Amino acid sequence: MTGLSDVPPLTSQWEKDMVSEIKDKISGHQVRAVLEIGCSNGRWLRWFHKEYGCEVYGLDNNAAGFGKRDVNFITGDAFKLPCRDSSFDAVFSKGFMEHFKKHERFLLLKEQARVLRENGFLICEIPPFDISLEILYIKFRHDSGKNSSIS
């Protein structure tokens, strides 16, 4: 493994399960705009765009992961989203919420709900805790703007 791909490979079972769940819940609904909180390089947003043809926006507090410009990247604070109320059909986070204290999670969800359109989808995925240290290292290296493989 040398780094984060531009799109999720959908090879692990949890990725397949998550995609299946998202498709099942969103099926039949119009998805015009998606916001990902803690987007890193925007690879899940590219999946949303490919799957639904929607506008995609990614927010992260560290722009080092922002790569290709095919995603509308926003540098900002997840506690104070720089977005209008009711702007998105889906607000998505993956591997984000577990980094915050319980009282902070409520505030983050409340802010995400603010920018969600009526009948929109709030998708909050927390990865399994059996994630390997190699994956965490690769993500750290990618997000810090360095391309390095594990020795």
> Domain spanning 13-143 has what CATH number?
3.40.50.150
| Mean pLDDT (the chain, rounded) | 86
- Say what the pLDDT of residue 2 is: 45
Section 141-148 average pLDDT: 52
What's the pLDDT band for 65 if we cut at 50, 70, 90?
confident
Q: Report the helix count and the strand count for the chain, using DSSP H and E.
A: 4, 5
Section 53-60 average pLDDT: 97
What's the pLDDT band for 139 if we cut at 50, 70, 90?
low
**H or E element: which one contains 93?**
strand 88-94
Cα(150)–Cα(2) distance, integer angstroms: 7
pTM for the predicted model, two decimal places: 0.82
Cβ-contact 41, 73 below 8 angstroms: no
In the predicted structure, residue 15 carries a pLDDT above the cut 90: no
88-136 pLDDT per residue, tens: 999 999 989 999 999 999 999 999 999 999 999 999 988 765 555 555 5
What's the pLDDT band for 1 if we cut at 50, 70, 90?
very low
CA angle 132, 37, 105 (to 5 degrees): 85
Q: 59 has which bridge partners?
A: 37, 74
Q: Sketch the domain layout of the chain as residue ranges.
A: 13-143
In the predicted structure, residue 146 carries a pLDDT above the cut 50: no
3-state class of 145 per DSSP? coil
